[in-house]
Amino acid sequence: MRFPPNSLRRPGGFTLVELLVVIAIIGVLIALLLPAVQQAREAARRMQCTNNLKQMALAVHNYHDTFLVFPSGHVQINDTYYGNWAIAILPYIEQQNLFNQYDHTTHCNTAANATVARTQVDEYLCPSDAISSPIYRPASGYSYDLRVISYKAMSGYTDDGAKNWDHFAEITGLSGSWKGIFHTVGSGHSQSLGFEKMASVTDGTSNTLLIGEYHQPQDEPGRSSFWGNSYWGYNLGMVINEPYIIGNQYDDCAAVASNIGVCRRAWASHHPGGFNFSRADGSVSFVPETIDLTIFAGLATMAGGEVADL
């Protein structure tokens, strides 16, 4: 019996086994490609974050060119808090209208200023942050919700988490050589500090830190950094001689810290391995979370006489 020539050919299409093999191969390829895609996305986010810091550093320089001093970390008169560095540089990041809406004659905890401070400023947000531009109410008795910022300005160095450069009640006992560029300015508690000039940065602008990343704590939203808030360094930070504060979550830090203040001023980010930081010369560097704190402290001061570099 003879069969037609085509009758012995296999039917068209995949067999079940072949289909499973193809699916498995596709799955392996996706598994191999996904980390590369994620790394590429993170690299792009980190680049945007670096650009944000460069824009802010340039704005600080433009402010200095205009007023011949750096903007303050924040302004404190007795126990009343007014503007801060993030508000001061708004005109130099194309936010003049927002700057004009803010009432600079009164403190930040008012309904009018809080309305302004809930505005999103793209340059103040790192795209790697887990929550994009949330609005929270700051801790310490604030009446209004404010929008967060992904960054803090460097106010200097301290050897004690209970002492800092953003409140006159706590400056006593800190060495003047430990000051950073963005400490508090004004008077109170028998203390006073003025604005800093470029000539004051005797450590060298390339050896002095300016603005860096601050990790927004997910379980302590009131401890976030807020660009429109100047009370007790919500957008100020310093280097503190406690090694576990770098790169950690707020709750991890609070579990082991000798003073909760160190956790409120910790430097960290969502970038793997460290965080970005601008310098007084306008450059931006990546600070590894394993950095020697002695080096980090030397970079935090503007006139400490240390020899330090990243």
pLDDT tens column, 137-195 = 888 778 889 999 999 999 999 887 778 888 888 887 788 899 999 998 998 887 889 99
182 φ, ψ to 5°? -105, 45
Other Cβ atoms less than 10 A from the Cβ of 304: the count is 22
Quick check: 266 and 248 in contact, CB under 8 A? Answer: yes
CA 280 to chain centre: 16
DSSP letter at 246 equals T
pLDDT of 90 over the 60 cut: yes
Average pLDDT, the chain: 85
Range from 95-99, 192-196, 245-249, 294-298 carrying the lowest mean pLDDT: 245-249
In the predicted structure, residue 267 carries a pLDDT above the cut 80:
yes
What per-residue confidence (pLDDT) applies to 219? 67
pLDDT greater at residue 6 or residue 73: 73
Structure tokens at 156: 């200097």
Pairing of strands 151-158, 236-240: parallel
Calpha distance 214→152 (Å, rounded)? 6
Distance CA(237)–CA(212), nearest Å, equals 9
Report the pLDDT value the prediction gives residue 214, as an integer from 0 to 100.
87
User: What span, in angstroms and rounded, lies between the C-alpha atoms of 47 and 287?
Assistant: 14
What is the tens place of the pLDDT at every residue in 238-258?
888 776 677 666 667 777 766
- Residue 132 pLDDT class (50, 70, 90 cuts): low
Does the predicted model carry a pTM greater than 0.75? yes
pLDDT at 102: 95
% of the chain exceeding 90 in pLDDT: 40
- Residue 286 pLDDT class (50, 70, 90 cuts): very high
Domain-wise residue ranges, the chain: 41-300
